[in-house]
Structure 1
Amino acid sequence: MKMKYLKQLIAIGLVLVLLVGCSCQPFTSLLGNVQVALNEPDEESSNTSEEPTSDTTPDPNNGDENNTKEYDFSIYSDDTTYTDSQLKVQSDFYEYLTQCFVDSMESSYLNLLYTVEDPEAMGIHVDEISWGNASISSMETALEDLQEEYDTLLAFDYDSLDYEGKLIYDILCEDYDNALIGSKYWYYEEVFSPLDGIQTSLPILLAEIEFNNTDDINNYLLLLEDTDRYIDELIIFEKYRAENHKIFLTDDAADSVITQCNDFINAEDNILITTFNERIDSMSGLTSAEITEYKTRNSNSVKDHVISAFNHIVDTLTSLKGTRLYDGLCNYEGGDEFYAYLTKTNSSSGRSVKELSELTDEYMNTARNEIQSIAKNNYFALLEFYNPAYPVDEPKESLNYFIDAIKADFPQAATKDFSLKYVPESLEESSSPAFYILAPIDNVNKNIIYLNGSDEYASENLYATLAHEGYPGHLYQTSYFYSINPHPIRSVLRFSGYNEGWAMYSQRYAYDYSGLSDGCVSLLKANDIYGYGLYSKIDFGVNYKGWTLRDVEKYVTSEGYDKDIAGELYTIMVNDPCVYHRYFLGMIEMIETQNHAKELLGDNYSNIDCNKFILEIGPAYYDIINERMISWAERINGR
């Protein structure tokens, strides 16, 4: 069957599917407004676009031993033998999953380009080059389509499946259960948010498409020419939300997005023209006439289909300003239920909103007490915190340093290959401090980290950022998981709380490798928890408890901050609800998972064993991971 719902999700969720990125680090804890905890996957460094630098020349054989055969998940299960009928169920189930994956890839050309390097080898054939379908009609039928797909999944006999099959089945069931809630309120989704909107990622994603032959060039140009159609569908969706449900960006947020769009529109050297020309000039086999023709067609397409689409965004957002009725989601009909859906989607946690809000308070209180204690009793650690001397400070050297340092706590990296690039100046305003572009599932050696050289991020902690984006963060986790060849459907399912939680958790190890004093390391870790926790705390307040701007002002002043920061925080939570839950709730759920392993294993616990298990289970809801951890721990204890 065709996966209509999954295809529709991909069409409106390209930002989350293809980039692992973050917003800038929250205000620092109780020590003043010094940014010491880092951002997540997005950017950092230098003020202009530069050539990529690589750790090594990509080795096509690097990691091939891991990446040529399927991983044997049976090491996590008992010695079950299966009947012929059960084996048939397994075969049918994996065939079904493969078709789901193929359908999802064929629905969006851009998503395919960034997910699979060799589509034909996986039986994927794209008949139409497009961004996918983001029409109102497709969203209106989402609930019905989702239920139909869920029923198909439930028809498979669970007891007949093997370990990996049951794992994927459980992941899909929990995902469908959550999506059934979200699909009832599809009109509450925001596609032009200041932090995660399509306008922030589209230029970079287009600029990174590789040309290996003329088909690639022609398909790229067809995709460019479909951009205005795709953006128009998103604009129609945005108008529908504002006109029928009175939910839209706040005026400040709309102005921010308008500025982002205008920066792209008015750039002296448009990234989609300069990078296209560079790619064309580097290709062999093209005549001078062909090169000129391609460059002309691209320049016209950028102006007529991309810049025109961004102008349409500007005009639409300008006209819709002032249409938002309420601030926090809880004030809208069904807002509480939609917020629960968003919280689970962004945290990957199976806990209720109430439980997560309470857990946030627990972690923040512990972090606050630790920060105050160290600040009071360890003056040297406090000085070191403000001026940490990390063992390396250049991006390339930092990543190579981490590749070696993590061997004490993590299994060997699947690849050492990476490229570092800097965000073009015209996109700095709309880009995160740093981000990692996901490797394709069939080439773990293709890894790109972008750094943002904007003055706004000059004080960011590059050491922690590179651990977050690279090793042992996003790059390491993604390439390791893909290297064991899980079923490709896993690449379609995105768990922001797991992915960002892992990256935040990785930063904590980076502090351990820093050579800083124990007191300073503890301060850095507590600062991450408190700083990101502050954002989640305010998010719960605004969208779950109905806090007003005045309430946020009271809260931040009670925590020792100037009330002037309240407006910025309030605007973020209203326009990008739950975005910081990915980082904070994801991190504390990862810490809770590690603590669970320690409880189960006792003296048999090791960081390498625990991290290997989390990596090999892969992105999923934390309750599913912790449930499977029990049988895994029994095996470790019995070995």
Structure 2
Amino acid sequence: MIRRLSRKQKCLAAFLFAAVLLLVSVGLYRLIPPEPVRFERYTRQLLEDSLLQDTLTLHYTLADPDGWGLEPSYATLGSFPDGDAIAQAAMLENQYAILDSFHSEDLRAEQALTLDILKTQTENELALMKGYFLQNFISPSLGTQAQLPTLLAEYAFRSKGDIDTYFALLEDLDRYFSDLMDFVDIQAANGVGPEDNTIDRICEQCEDFIGRGDASHFLQAAFVEKCSSCDFLSDDERQSLADAHAKQLTDCVFPAYRNLMERLKSLQGTCKVQGGLATCPNGTDYYEALVRKETGSSLTIPQIQERLYRQLLADIQKVQSLPQDTASGADPYEKLDAAKMLQLLQNSILNDFPALTDVDWELKQIQDELADYASPAFYLTPPIDAQETNTIYINPTEQMSGVELFSTLAHEGFPGHLYQTNYFSSTDPDPLREVLSCGGYIEGWATYVESWFCTEAEGVWSGASLYWLERSMNLCLTSLLDIGIHGHGWSLADVGSFLDGFGISDQAAVQNLYQYILENPTNYLKYYLGYLSFADLRTACENALGDAFDLRAFHEAVLTTGPCPFDILEDEVFERLDISQPLSPAS
């Protein structure tokens, strides 16, 4: 016999069920971490996963990986795409879905900023999937094989374990290059591998790196010098390690570069396209996505072109308006050496830029074996968890001096890369923010402060203003060439005709410039469009604030926000400066 519940019993049962459900819900809620905690764990995991995939990057990012609980099971230089575009796209879509599960309104302000940056970068990476096989990992100047020697030479030995890891990385080099060439082979099979001229230039660069291929190599000298300053090594250990390193060079490093050259030479004649990205399948769409990623600008290609031409016209008019005796007389900066210039810059930025605790720095020369293919100068960032010396490299083949060298040191040092990197680190950002790549912001800032320096230097020598205008016009022309070659498919003849209209007719110079831009799409744009984005943002703030505009406060807002796409930077700077009506940077 089934006994029916009375109304009173039903009400009691319903009440008990609701109470139990509430208790379970509260219990489950307590098991779910708050949104800020969940996001912090996620970004920490992103950083750790990234660093564990590449021991060289891990070493340069963290001086003490053990302190972070990171213990790689083996040393590796990393890997390259395996040719599975579908799997890569699926991974990115999954990553975006995870990011989309976070709610900005539930995060701390700095976390919401990081979320916006990560979502934008993931969107950019997804857009780049249109040209998956057009990714460029190898070129004479900025390719993997060209950048690696300096990173190996500067690999810090903080312990015996670091030396062991360094040796393991040398042993991994042939596998690493083989992995790189597997992807290049896939590109070649699709007709979009490197052109013959590029292959010849890469092989020439590799030959220069190998040199005589013996113990006189600069990597051997760098290794011995680093070991000599390691107080945890005895003299016998130093000698033994020096002998072992010389053997590693002849057994691992030089053969890896020779194998790379052999595989590259086997691809000669396989490239089916002649010219920039626009001549490749899906190349135009890929280039637009690459510009957005590398420059951090959301402007369309036509909008970028319009902005460039507008700036070029303005610079030409300024040059024409300068007095005829501008730059007359000797450059007073010719008497200063690089170290003195950097010291002067460090002390002269206090009025216009926020204060920064003193940082240690040193100047070095780029090795002769790399000089012909290296940049005029570059800055090597220190680990994010240690106060180590900041290093700026200068290319001796450039023979820079005077205002040119001074401007370059402003770019690389104060208030450029060195200052910007250390200032942002001093704000205690999420560690992930310190390793995210935002080239348009980073190189744009360094170019922007070149302009600032030249404006300041006008009071010392009128030639500084002319120097900057000429540099600005050169960067503008090369940026327009970048769009012409990769966005519109310009040939060498087209480039020659364009430059001839500006009085540039040296055929060797035209050929070299065309080849460099062909091999390094968006590189000039990253610098110059980044600079224009900062200049336009400053103008927008000046227009909005009028007499209340303060240059130091503007710089502080930019630097505290840190590297990010310019749409995001504009919103952040306007909020920090209490500007209610955003103005388009392009206006």
Per the normalisation by structure 1, the TM-score is 0.82
Alignment partner of 2:157: what SS? coil
CA distance in structure 2 between the partners assigned to 1:409 and 1:102 by the alignment = 37
The reply to whether residue 614 of structure 1 matches residue 550 of structure 2 is: no
Aligned to 1:225: 171
The reply to whether residue 235 of structure 1 matches residue 181 of structure 2 is: yes
Instruction: Give the C-alpha shift of residue 327 in structure 1.
Output: 0.6
The amino acid of 1:219's aligned partner reads: T
The amino acid of 2:195's aligned partner reads: T
Q: Give the alignment partner of residue 94 of structure 1, picking from 33, 37, 40.
A: 40
The reply to whether residue 406 of structure 1 matches residue 349 of structure 2 is: yes
The amino acid of 2:169's aligned partner reads: L
The amino acid of 1:548's aligned partner reads: S
Instruction: Give the C-alpha shift of residue 353 in structure 1.
Output: 1.6
Aligned to 1:337: 285
Aligned to 1:602: 546
CA distance in structure 2 between the partners assigned to 1:286 and 1:498 by the alignment = 42
The reply to whether residue 282 of structure 1 matches residue 226 of structure 2 is: no
Instruction: Give the C-alpha shift of residue 458 in structure 1.
Output: 7.2
Aligned to 1:183: 129
Question: What is the correspondence of 1:204-219 to structure 2 with a 5 Å cutoff?
Answer: 204-219=150-165
Q: Give the alignment partner of residue 425 of structure 1, picking from 353, 365, 368.
A: 368
For residues 144-188 of structure 1, what are the alpha-carbon distances to aligned partners after superposition, in whole Å with 9 as ceiling and x for unaligned?
111111111111122211211110111111111111011342221
The reply to whether residue 259 of structure 1 matches residue 259 of structure 2 is: no
Distance of aligned partners of 1:603 and 1:285 in 2 relative to their CA distance in 1, 3 Å threshold: closer
Distance of aligned partners of 1:87 and 1:633 in 2 relative to their CA distance in 1, 3 Å threshold: farther
The amino acid of 1:510's aligned partner reads: F
Aligned to 1:547: 490
CA distance in structure 2 between the partners assigned to 1:156 and 1:579 by the alignment = 33
Distance of aligned partners of 1:178 and 1:258 in 2 relative to their CA distance in 1, 3 Å threshold: same
For residues 340-368 of structure 1, what are the alpha-carbon distances to aligned partners after superposition, in whole Å with 9 as ceiling and x for unaligned?
12111221111112211111111111111
Distance of aligned partners of 1:274 and 1:379 in 2 relative to their CA distance in 1, 3 Å threshold: same
The amino acid of 1:544's aligned partner reads: G
Aligned to 1:301: 248
**Kept after mapping to 1: 8 A contact 2:331/2:403:** no
Aligned to 1:592: 536
The amino acid of 1:607's aligned partner reads: L
CA distance in structure 2 between the partners assigned to 1:162 and 1:629 by the alignment = 17
Instruction: Give the C-alpha shift of residue 319 in structure 1.
Output: 2.3
**Kept after mapping to 1: 8 A contact 2:341/2:409:** yes
**Kept after mapping to 2: 8 A contact 1:444/1:483:** no
Instruction: Give the C-alpha shift of residue 635 in structure 1.
Output: 7.2
Instruction: Give the C-alpha shift of residue 450 in structure 1.
Output: 0.7
The reply to whether residue 327 of structure 1 matches residue 275 of structure 2 is: yes
The amino acid of 1:303's aligned partner reads: T
For residues 489-510 of structure 1, what are the alpha-carbon distances to aligned partners after superposition, in whole Å with 9 as ceiling and x for unaligned?
1122111111110001111121
Instruction: Give the C-alpha shift of residue 634 in structure 1.
Output: 1.7
Distance of aligned partners of 1:222 and 1:552 in 2 relative to their CA distance in 1, 3 Å threshold: same
Q: Give the alignment partner of residue 127 of structure 1, picking from 33, 49, 73.
A: 73
The amino acid of 2:61's aligned partner reads: T
CA distance in structure 2 between the partners assigned to 1:516 and 1:317 by the alignment = 52
Instruction: Give the C-alpha shift of residue 457 in structure 1.
Output: 5.6
Aligned to 2:430: 487
Alignment partner of 1:513: what SS? helix
The reply to whether residue 201 of structure 1 matches residue 161 of structure 2 is: no
Aligned to 1:364: 312
CA distance in structure 1 between the partners assigned to 2:453 and 2:155 by the alignment = 32
For residues 114-136 of structure 1, what are the alpha-carbon distances to aligned partners after superposition, in whole Å with 9 as ceiling and x for unaligned?
11122222232222211112251
**Kept after mapping to 2: 8 A contact 1:442/1:482:** no
**Kept after mapping to 2: 8 A contact 1:235/1:316:** yes
**Kept after mapping to 2: 8 A contact 1:203/1:271:** no
The reply to whether residue 250 of structure 1 matches residue 198 of structure 2 is: no
Distance of aligned partners of 1:607 and 1:444 in 2 relative to their CA distance in 1, 3 Å threshold: farther
CA distance in structure 2 between the partners assigned to 1:323 and 1:425 by the alignment = 33
The amino acid of 1:101's aligned partner reads: L
Instruction: Give the C-alpha shift of residue 442 in structure 1.
Output: 1.9
The reply to whether residue 161 of structure 1 matches residue 107 of structure 2 is: yes
Instruction: Give the C-alpha shift of residue 288 in structure 1.
Output: 4.9
Alignment partner of 2:364: what SS? strand
Question: What is the correspondence of 1:50-65 to structure 2 with a 5 Å cutoff?
Answer: none
Q: Give the alignment partner of residue 436 of structure 1, picking from 379, 385, 393.
A: 379
The amino acid of 1:207's aligned partner reads: A
Alignment size in residue pairs: 549
The amino acid of 1:593's aligned partner reads: L
Instruction: Give the C-alpha shift of residue 521 in structure 1.
Output: 3.9
The reply to whether residue 172 of structure 1 matches residue 118 of structure 2 is: yes
CA distance in structure 2 between the partners assigned to 1:518 and 1:283 by the alignment = 46
Instruction: Give the C-alpha shift of residue 318 in structure 1.
Output: 2.1
| Runs of 5+ consecutive residues of structure 2 not aligned to the other structure | 1-28, 582-587
Alignment partner of 1:509: what SS? helix
CA distance in structure 1 between the partners assigned to 2:334 and 2:68 by the alignment = 44
Aligned to 1:632: 576
Instruction: Give the C-alpha shift of residue 253 in structure 1.
Output: 2.6
The amino acid of 1:585's aligned partner reads: L
Per the normalisation by structure 2, the TM-score is 0.89
Alignment partner of 2:266: what SS? helix
Distance of aligned partners of 1:239 and 1:513 in 2 relative to their CA distance in 1, 3 Å threshold: same
Alignment partner of 1:407: what SS? coil
| Higher relative contact order (CA closer than 8 Å, sequence separation 6+) | 1
The reply to whether residue 573 of structure 1 matches residue 517 of structure 2 is: yes
Q: Percent identity between the aligned chains? A: 29
Instruction: Give the C-alpha shift of residue 569 in structure 1.
Output: 2.1
CA distance in structure 2 between the partners assigned to 1:635 and 1:370 by the alignment = 30
| Runs of 5+ consecutive residues of structure 1 not aligned to the other structure | 1-82
Instruction: Give the C-alpha shift of residue 295 in structure 1.
Output: 2.4
For residues 35-79 of structure 1, what are the alpha-carbon distances to aligned partners after superposition, in whole Å with 9 as ceiling and x for unaligned?
xxxxxxxxxxxxxxxxxxxxxxxxxxxxxxxxxxxxxxxxxxxxx
CA distance in structure 2 between the partners assigned to 1:322 and 1:437 by the alignment = 37
Aligned to 1:48: none
The amino acid of 1:247's aligned partner reads: V
**481-490 or 453-462, which deviates more:** 453-462
For residues 437-468 of structure 1, what are the alpha-carbon distances to aligned partners after superposition, in whole Å with 9 as ceiling and x for unaligned?
01211235431001111256679921111111
Instruction: Give the C-alpha shift of residue 597 in structure 1.
Output: 1.6
- Larger-Rg structure: 2
Instruction: Give the C-alpha shift of residue 281 in structure 1.
Output: 3.1
Instruction: Give the C-alpha shift of residue 530 in structure 1.
Output: 0.7
**Kept after mapping to 1: 8 A contact 2:495/2:514:** yes
CA distance in structure 2 between the partners assigned to 1:178 and 1:407 by the alignment = 37
CA distance in structure 2 between the partners assigned to 1:457 and 1:319 by the alignment = 39
CA distance in structure 1 between the partners assigned to 2:285 and 2:83 by the alignment = 23
Alignment partner of 1:559: what SS? coil
